[in-house]
């Protein structure tokens, strides 16, 4: 199930917006318009989710708006950031990172399946593990 996290859009004196997330300290970016910032913020959430999944770390629980505001105020104080106007908050979607194995059925040519099996064996992997690794690193 997709989770939604607040993104903070902080107006800067240069006429651009900085983007931060109260739930992910590692997310920061900037954009010229709010629409550009929203796209960049959701991209950053997707990248963070992929990294959390790769490391098998649980995603943080999304905070409520009041908590998002409190965290961002503390962050601004800590980092000596002075917004040039009102900070706007918008929910951004992060992809599902459920790592529960799911059984599927797939159809391959005999040749493709032989290549997959040969390459998986050469890497000491199962067919499923090999295909999953390819998908996650594509």
Give the CATH class of 3-94.
alpha beta
Q: In what order do the strands lie in the sheet with 88-94?
A: 28-31, 17-20, 3-11, 88-94
**Given this model, what pLDDT does residue 68 score?**
98
Residues 57-100: pLDDT tens digits?
999 999 999 999 999 999 999 999 999 999 999 999 998 888 78
- For the chain, percent of residues with pLDDT exceeding 70: 100
pTM over 0.95: no
Alpha carbons 125 and 67: distance in angstroms, whole number? 44
Alpha carbons 115 and 97: distance in angstroms, whole number? 29
Where along the chain do its domains lie? 3-94, 101-138
For 7, the token pair is: 């993104």
pLDDT band of 135, cuts 50, 70, 90: confident
Strand spans (E) along the chain: 3-11, 17-20, 28-31, 88-94
Query: Is 23:5 a contact under the CB 8 Å cutoff?
Result: yes
Angle between helices 127-137 and 110-122 (to 10 degrees): 90
60: number of CA atoms within 13 Å, CB side?
A: 14
């Amino acid at each position: 199930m997709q989770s939604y996290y607040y993104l903070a859009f902080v107006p800067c004196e240069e006429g651009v917006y900085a983007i931060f997330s109260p739930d992910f300290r590692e997310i920061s970016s900037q954009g010229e318009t709010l629409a550009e910032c929203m796209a960049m913020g959701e991209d950053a959430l997707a990248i963070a989710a992929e990294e959390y999944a790769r490391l098998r770390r649980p995603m943080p629980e999304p905070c409520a708006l009041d908590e998002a505001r409190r965290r961002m105020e503390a962050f601004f104080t800590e980092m000596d950031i002075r917004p040039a106007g009102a900070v706007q908050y918008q929910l951004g979607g992060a992809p599902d990172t459920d790592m529960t194995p799911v059984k599927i059925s797939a159809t391959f040519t005999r040749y493709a399946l032989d290549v997959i099996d040969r390459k998986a064996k050469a890497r000491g992997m199962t067919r499923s593990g090999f295909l999953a690794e390819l998908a996650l690193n594509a």
